[in-house]
Structure 1
């Protein structure tokens, strides 16, 4: 963990994305069922939201459930969806106390109706909060988002396809691209997360499983990010 004096609070990433990986392995290592790992992972997510809020991060995108995760067992999918449904509205006091705004990215049409409805409600109820914006990637796939964006674009009188017009039809075009994407659990792949938006994001892979993550791990990742030189394809002057 970097010393507090070395930590640059003035040059924080505006937008952090996290691929929260390792819940199942965490449970298996403790001879627990996988669903217990998801429950612990949810607790960690709340801690990281609070930490990011306290640090002054503007946007935090959390990879909650991908378009590919439907391939898991019905019991595991049902448990995850139950957690989402329970905590979307159940955490409203937490959102209000910390001025947290909730947004969604992903295809709501593929979600159970009651969860899609809860998402709409919590996004509407928190829309005027001025603190950290938490983007929940739920039934999300990067390729799927791009396909849906192109469909929306071409449905409007066959609009011209350019990078800018596609971007304007993504799920959250007003949110800046992530500066930093963190993947926990030690795997080196993007897993279809924010494919368009992450073109020039800095990646940090943490070997720690998601339920083991702490605020110090988040600070260490940001400290490492601050030591990198971002070129965006150019050459520094």
Structure 2
């Protein structure tokens, strides 16, 4: 019987988890980076999310259009998202296109240009996202709730950052944060589909060749729950309510 789940490491410390599914013809790949709004200093709020946008805007060998067209040409899907504790870049393709998917993922994560003009455009996009959240009660209520229960802790800050912080970012700040956070010990690759574990290790080993081991020390302050009530009045016909309680950990 073939073992479905397997775990392993690349020589540089990147962790790999795979599940072989021989009955399908597709593969889903996720590159998870342990960096999110929880890991940002006060003056770097929203940087993880901004970088998630920027890596798709061009590399040393591909323009933003080339990245999108390459994935579209094989009918695949490529996207990313940021949470409070992770940033994930993922791809879904037919199994025969896995080498291309790995090539694209490793390219955007190893060789992003962080072009200054693209940075300004993406800052504008993020500022619009912030405005949309503020204008959407069932979105903003989660930020209000987090700010209440984790007051004074990074978990209490919004993933998108603030207008003031995002407006002030430049290429030096973005590149510095990227270099500091995107290191092998903080990366986990998860792959499921019609592919073997050894093949995944082979492809990512080649794709991440030259991505050297680096220190990943980080001081994490545990959050302290701060009970309370926060009421924000808005001119609406609805009331949105969140109640939170300590859970098991």
- Larger relative contact order, structure 1 or 2 (CA cutoff 8 Å, min sep 6): 2
TM over 0.5: no
Q: So what's the TM-score if we normalise by structure 1?
A: 0.27
TM-score by length of 2: 0.26
